[in-house]
Amino acid sequence: MKKLFSQIFMYLCLAVVCASCNNDGDTVYVDGMAPSDLIATASRVDLDISQRTKVVLQLAWKNPTLLSSDATKPVTGNLLKTYVEASASKDFSGASSTAVTSLTKAYTGTELNTLAKNLGINVNTAGQLYFRIKAQEGDNMEPVYSNVCLVTVIPYFVDMTKLAVLASNKTDTIAYLHSPEADGVYTGYMNATAWLNCWFYEYSGDTWGNYAVDGHAFEISNASDAWNCWFADGAGAWYVKVDTKEKEWSATLLAQLKAGGNDMTYYSKRQQWGYYITTTADNQTVAIEADAKEYNTTTRTDYANEKTLHFAAADGRLSQAESSTGISIAKAGTYTIIVEADGSGYLKYSVVEGKVDFNATDEPETKYPSELYMVNKDDISIDLARLAKTGDTTYSGTYTLTANWENFKLADRENSIVYGSDPEDLFTLSTDAGAWSIWFKDDVHAGETVTVTIDLKTKKWSYSK
C-alpha cells in the first residue's frame, strides 16, 4: 500500500511539472543571488545612558538580486528571507541574527548597548562589532552574504539593582526601588496619594506599565500600548514590589503604624509618622509594627489583604522581619519617634529628644545640603556639574554647555530632593511633579562656559557668562 501511494504521489508531481511547462513555455529557474550592499551611518558609537531612546546607529542595504536563467524574465524577491547578523568576531562565530522585512535596521542606544554587551564587549571599553546581511531563498538553500560593516562601540554599565518609579509624565522620578540580587524583582518604600498614576523604569531601558486590558490591575507590561500603573485608595507610605519576571506588582499601604503597641500619628504634609514617648529607664526599646493593606493581582483594587507587618530596626532603617526588634533609646527622658519613607526606597526612623511640634507649620525643618548637583534631565543619577555652597542657602559653580538650549535639573542628594523649573517662570525652582526641566536660553551656546548660581531659600537660579 505504501509503495502504491508513493507511486501515485510521484505521478502527480510529474503531471504538475509538465503542466507548468506547457503553460509557461520554456523553463525559467533561479540561478543564485547577487549579494546586497550594506552601509552603516557611523563607524564609531560611544554610548551613554542619555542616548537610551535615541537612534545611534542605522544600517541600510539593497535587497539581493535573484539571478534568473532568462535575463528577460527576472525573478521576484518574494521568496527571500533576510537577516541582520552581528558579531564581535570577523568570522561571525557566536553571531546574533535578527530577521528583518525592510531595507533598514535602526538601533537605539539601549538596543546597541545590549547587543554589544551580549556579544562580549566589556563596558567602558572600545570593541568591534561586525555587521552583515544574510539572504536566503529558502531554509534548504545556501545563503548569500553582503559586505561587512565594522563599527567600534563603547557600551556603558547598566545598574540593574535599582528601578525608578516615574510620574505619569514618564519623566520625573518620584521614588526608587531596589533589587540587591539584580534579578528583576524590586522592592522598597515610597509615598503615594490615592490613585496615583506611575510607571516603573528599569535601567536596561524597559518601561513597565499596566497590561492594557480592563480588569488586569497589577499586571505589568513593557509593550508600547501599556497603560500607566495606579495605586488603590489610601495615602501615605507604601511598600511596593515589582516583579518583572512574573510581570506583576503589588502595593501595601502602611495604614496604621504602632510604636510599642500604641498608634502613631500620620502628618500628611510632612509625610511622617510621629509618636511621643517618655521613658523611665536607660536603653528602653520600642518596637514598630504596622497594620497594612496589600493590593495585588488577586485583590486588584476591589479589596485589600489585611496583615500585620513587623520591623527590625538597625542603623536608622526599618526592614520587614518575622518579629520586631525594638528601637533602643539610650537615656531616660521624653522623645519623639519619627518614621518616614525617605524617597530612596527605604523606611527610616529617628529618635529626637523632646517633643517635635508637627502641627506648628506641618512642614519639616528646612535642611540645606552641603552641595548641589546639576544632573541629567532624564536620569538624575548622572551628574553634570557640582555646585559648591557659597552661603547659608546659596550655591555656585561653572558649567560648559554641550548643546544649545541644554536642559538639566538640580539634585539635593542629601535630602533626596530634585528641582525642576516652575512652568510659569524658568528661573523659579519647583519640586512639583509637573515641574519642567531647567534650560539655558539662546544667549549661550554649546562650548561656552557659564557660572550657575542657586538660592534655595528664594528658590531662584541664574547664570552668567
- Give the pLDDT means over successive 10-residue stretches in the chain (465 positions): 39 38 43 73 90 90 66 56 94 94 92 92 95 84 90 92 91 91 95 93 90 97 95 94 97 97 92 95 96 98 96 96 94 97 94 90 70 91 92 94 94 88 92 87 94 95 94
pTM of the model: 0.56
pLDDT of residue 114: 87
Identify any residues that bridge with 398 across adjacent strands, giving them in sequence order. Answer: 451
What's the pLDDT score for residue 239? 98
Per-residue pLDDT, 34? 65
Rounded Cα–Cα distance for residues 328 and 276 (Å): 15
Q: What is the pLDDT of residue 361?
A: 56
**Residue 247 buriedness (CB in 10 A; 0-12 / 13-18 / 19+):** middle
pLDDT for res 297 = 98
Cβ atoms of residues 173 and 165 within 8 Å: yes
Looking at residue 72, its pLDDT comes to 54
Look at strands 347-353 and 144-145 and give their pairing. Answer: unpaired
* C-alpha to C-alpha distance for 241 and 220, rounded to whole angstroms: 12
123-138 CB burial, b ≥16 within 10 A, e <16? eeeebebbbbbbbbbe
